[in-house]
Structure 1
């Protein structure tokens, strides 16, 4: 027992003098945006993002490269340590995707974009805005067009200068062929011409009808005379000449003979 006592005291002394393990304490580096965490554990530190890089969130482990706006793109916003650069399209091009990641050629006035690219506005339509859509010309009343329309500008109506509500724009549809709107009383001259022609026709008809009747009667008489001449015998001709050329001194009997001959001829003709 006497020999074990010193050993026990030595063991207790060694245990008391041995270093104790410290409790694990959290070591987090709260690096703000524009920096990144360099290192690990409690020895980590915050370092700023290098040039042409950025970090938009706190505690980032690394920085991201800034976007380059080149070619068809131009800078809308420069890159900074806390945000990326923003790009847009150069003149003559337009953004065709979200975030302007693609630039397509722009359609200028007088054209519109279709599935196959830029297409000219059809006749009767116009577009006066870049990358706009073609719209129908304003419909003016007849003879009220002050300036005709083109592919890049609308029709200007005379009345629209003082009364804009008198001109209406048709909704955009497929290509429409322009039409004329009839105005009451505007075709009065044409109506007068038609009436004059009708009256002239009636007058000609009124003049030609009696002429045709007279011509028909004359032809009928002529045919009757020819027919009469064809059926007259030489004896009848001599007798008619004798009867027609007799003198008043001739006897009454001869008159009766001529009368009978004439009545007989009339019976034959009838």
Structure 2
């Protein structure tokens, strides 16, 4: 009998080697009635009988779609299906279950990824009921699925100034200022420009007032000058000019011109008297 048991164990060992160690019992110990008792099945096998004559028959591999990770278990478990918001990260094998992960935009709620929740992006934070909300005013979040934190109240360096307020996804922005601030320079330029406009308006008004006064003085002077009477010499000179023009006029107008000369002559005589 001992010889028969030795042959069986030898054949079982040879079968395990030939099949790559995937079927049967991995370790066993002698028992009564020329039997052996399995203490651990090979990887991916579940135990069928604890003891028997042939150790290769004590364990069997799991069917497709099932797995076992306990070498002493008598049953295999069904492989997990990754559905809905989940997808398979690692497929199920006879010795390990499926490893699931969440699809893009979602995060596993626990280490086993039993469920997936919405992934909160930058500028948001997760809530107690596994949803997302925007960061309240005065806070920000620049990470994925994290809590919002308050904006900084001052710059880290004394030479820096706040040049931009914080947003929902970024803190305040600080920059080092060399010399006068850019805003101060802009204000100075605006003031100088405004001052030049005021000066231009004042000068224009002064020039207009000066011109108006000068024109008024000229008009007053002209009105104040009395009209001079015509002297005898001026009358004779006007008469000579009219006589010279007589020869330039047409024949039909000479009569009227002579009458004008006679009339002018009479006026000169009256002035002389």
Per the normalisation by structure 2, the TM-score is 0.45
- Normalized against structure 1, the TM-score is what? 0.46
